[in-house]
Amino acid sequence: MARLERKRVARAILVCVRSSFLTLLGAGALSLRRVVMLATAAGVILPAVFVGPLVAQESLRSDVQARIHALMAQYGSTLGAALVQPVWLADPVSAEGLLQSVMSNPDVVAIEVEDAALGAFLSKHKPSDVNDTLVRQVFPIVKDDKTIGTLAVTMTTRHVRSQLVAQATKLGLAIGFQLLLTLTILYFVFQRRLFQPVHARKKSER
């Protein structure tokens, strides 16, 4: 619904810009220089303004998921291997330090270990914000090709998302500066190759 609403707003803005442009053009309110520069600016800026945020949002979502799942796979592999002996020997005390070291990562909000035969083995939790997006994945703990328990890792996307948003903001500022530089260069090119010759011709015809 939110995406549909953004598309409607963007379409309405485009219609308003187009109608205003045609009104000014029909009324003779714009000179050749303004018409060319307005059309050029619209062609350069509008795609960045309306298409850019949609692409950036989708890219951000996929990057967050990829980063989180990569971290979870890493924890599931290393921690799952390290927990084989403690689970097999039913020794949760020896696994305490392992879980605590992983919980030091601010992205990890919960780790739950279960023994396939005895049930709950060991768990660690820390509070998370109600607005956080949580991702949970379960990994098997395997010994001699037999599953002796499970490891569940729950992570929040908040920190990863904030890092990627900061990177995207810097990229957006760089693109904005590049667009501004492009428009400035185009202005001077048009000024020399188009506006000045047209002005000189009109002056000679008088």
Asked whether 141 and 148 are in contact (CB, 8 A), the reply is: yes
**Most confident range, picked from 63-72, 97-106, 153-162:** 97-106
Report residue 139's pLDDT band, with 50, 70 and 90 as the boundaries.
very high
Contacts of 80 (CB under 8 A, 6+ apart): 139, 140, 141, 142, 151
* Residue 2 banded pLDDT, cuts 50, 70, 90: very low
pLDDT of residue 36: 67
- The residue ranges of DSSP E strands in 45-198, in sequence order, are 108-115, 119-125, 134-143, 146-156
**Which of 67 and 147 is assigned the larger pLDDT?**
147
* pLDDT value, residue 27: 44
Confidence at 66, pLDDT banded by 50, 70, 90 = confident
pTM of the model: 0.57
Predicted pLDDT at 24: 46
Average pLDDT over residues 158-163: 79
Contact 168, 63 (CB under 8 A): no
Give the pLDDT band of residue 7 (cuts 50, 70, 90): low
Secondary structure element (H or E) that encloses residue 81, with its range: helix 52-82
Q: Which region among 5-9, 112-116, 133-137, 199-203 has the lowest average model confidence (pLDDT)?
A: 5-9
pLDDT band at 133, cuts 50/70/90? confident
How many contiguous H segments (helices) and E segments (strands) does the chain have? 7, 4
Q: Mean of the pLDDT values across residues 90-113?
A: 88
d(CA 63, CA 158): 13
Do 108 and 153 form a contact (C-beta atoms < 8 A)?
Answer: yes
Report whether pLDDT(101) > 70.
Answer: yes
d(CA 45, CA 180): 9
Distance CA 193, CA 124 (A): 70
Q: How far apart are CA 72 and CA 64, in angstroms?
A: 12
Residue with the two structure tokens 């820390």: 126
Q: What angle do CA 68, 72, 78 make, to 5 degrees?
A: 150
Q: Summarize the confidence of residues 122-151 as an average pLDDT.
A: 87
Least confident of 88-92, 179-183, 188-192, 197-201: 197-201
Nearest to 94 by CA among 121, 126, 125: 121
Mean pLDDT of 42-57: 70
